[in-house]
Amino acid sequence: MTTKVQAPAVAGGKTGSGDAAASGVSPLLALVAGWLVPGAGHLLLGKWVRATLLMLSIVAMFAIGVALQGKVYTPNTGEPLDMLGFAGDLGAGLLYGLARLLGWGQAPVLVAVADYGTKFIVVAGLLNIVAAVDAHSLASGRKRQ
């Protein structure tokens, strides 16, 4: 026996389904903005609490990784694990560009804690990718609020 679940009502008597799609924000814009600036895709969709939480968590993880002297990967190595690390780092969007511009994470890893820092930086990028895809799904109406 299955039952149909109704979306909860929100202000104005609308249900939660399709509100973001009706906001007029392009799914591609939400995806790209969310990738470049953590939380920006959700901010465009009017999800300011979620946007703030994502921005704070992703920026904090990236900053902790840099503070722990983690490595910021570069694209020109031939090692497969370095290429995967670069893809994860690149997911942080403009944070990655800022780190490369300011020379953060370029020193050789000399302390054991720096390896944890490297993982923080990569995971921050991966979390940002997931958040950007979530903003895209909300904007296209494939995902409910």
Q: What pLDDT band is residue 2 in, cutting at 50, 70 and 90?
A: low
Question: Does residue 61 come out as left (phi exceeding 0), alpha (psi in the -120 to 50 range) or beta?
Answer: alpha
Which amino acid is located at 108 in the chain?
P
Mean pLDDT of the chain: 87
What's the rounded mean pLDDT across residues 47-55?
98
Q: What is the pLDDT of residues 59-103, one digit of tens each?
A: 999 999 999 999 999 988 788 989 999 999 999 999 999 999 999
Report the Cα 105 to chain-centroid distance in Å: 20
Three-state SS string over 37-53 comes to CCCHHHHHCCCHHHHHH
- Which letter does DSSP use for residue 7 in this model? P
If DSSP codes are grouped into helix, strand and coil, which group holds residue 9? strand
pTM recorded for the entire structure: 0.82
Domain ranges, ordered by start, for the chain: 24-140
Q: What pLDDT band is residue 144 in, cutting at 50, 70 and 90?
A: confident
Q: What is the DSSP string of 99-145?
A: HHHHTTT-S---SHHHHHHHHHHHHHHHHHHHHHHHHHHHHHTSS--
Point out which residues pair with 10 in neighbouring strands. none
At residue 9, the pLDDT reads 47
Q: Exposed/middle/buried for 70, CB within 10 Å: 0-12, 13-18, 19+?
A: buried
